[in-house]
Amino acid sequence: MGIFRKIHNNTVLFLRNKYFLRKVDKKFSLPPIIIGGCGRSGTSLLLSILSAHPQIYGIPKETYYFCPTAYTYDPDYWAKFDIKGFYNNWVRNVELSDVNKSMTFCEKSPKNVRYFQRILKLFNNRVKIINIIRDGRDVVLSKHPTDPSKVWSTKERWVRDLKYGIDVMNDPNVFTVRYEDLINNFEDTVGQIFKFLQLNFDNNVKDWYLNSKIRTHGAWKDGLQPINSDSVGKWKNENGSSKELTKFLNDSECIKLLKQFNYEV
């Protein structure tokens, strides 16, 4: 009986998810956008930029619906998606104007990166995934906004999350972008992103800071800030007191990944 009950429950969940995915498709006619990447790599900034586009509804909080249990002590990377919960909590009550009926939603939870392969299957490849990466030396120097004594992401997390992203890099529905390119070469990089999304790179996005609908986030201490190149290459000015940076620089796997993504070493 146990095995048959498990099969029955999985079948019910599959059909329920399929039903609610259809309801999501009726609400948002364009393919969904899912953002992931190692914490402190610019996922929140990217969501804020994309939310400035009139056809993108940026979900203002990390829902975790596309990375179930990822933030628990003992994550189950095969945990079932709850599309009914996602629809009821984040889609059903969204009001779309008559002008903007042709829209999509954008959901950002950093650990989505660990579920990219499953997300592609969930949406039957009708999805746009953006994987954002950042120089790990700056990542491990990034302090927790509510507790500066803590490091947000370790070198182990950076390596692991990059590898999850590498697994899907060649998929046509996945776009990999470097945080540094987003900061230092904004228009060209965002233009490439919108070409991938098959949306116009309009003036709302060019003036994203004025038009962004995501202006606060738990990852930001002082709310939304204009793009600042000071956030790039901070590790070069480190005086050697960071234990995390020292461990990173002495890890051959970290150096290998830096080279793979064309970072200066």
Chain centroid to CA 163: 15
- Token pair listed for 256: 């290998």
Identify the pLDDT of residue 1: 46
Report phi then psi at 208, rounded to 5. Answer: -55, -35
Q: What are the φ/ψ torsions at residue 259 (nearest 5 degrees)?
A: -65, -40
3-state secondary structure the chain: CHHHHHHHHHHHHHHHHHHHHHHHHHHCCCCCEEEECCCCCCHHHHHHHHCCCCCEEECCCCCCCCCCCCCCCCCCCCCCCCHHHHHHHHHCCCCCCCCCCCCEEEEECHHHHHHHHHHHHHCCCCCEEEEEECCHHHHCCCEECCEEEEECCCHHHHHHHHHHHHCCCCCCCEEEEEHHHHHHCHHHHHHHHHHHHCCCCCHHHHCHHHHCCCCCCCCCCCCCCCCCHHHCCHHHHCCCCCHHHHHHHCCHHHHHHHHHCCCCC
Block mean pLDDT (10 aa), the chain, length 265: 47 80 94 97 96 95 96 94 96 82 94 98 97 97 72 92 98 98 97 97 94 85 87 90 92 98 96
How many other CB atoms sit within 10 Å of the CB of residue 235?
Answer: 17
Provide the whole-model pTM: 0.93
Determine contact, residues 175/189, Cβ cutoff 8 Å. no
What domains can you pick out in the chain, each with its CATH number? 2-260 (3.40.50.300)
Task: Provide the pLDDT for residue 51.
Answer: 96
Beta strands 143-144 and 147-151, pairing class:
antiparallel
Residue 113 · residue 161 · CB < 8 Å: yes
User: Which amino acid, residue 82?
Assistant: D
Q: Report the candidate in 41, 33, 67 with the shortest Cα–Cα distance to residue 180.
A: 41
Q: Amino acid identity, residue 43?
A: T
Query: Residue 12 has what pLDDT?
Result: 58
What pLDDT, on a 0 to 100 scale, did the predictor assign at position 149?
Answer: 65
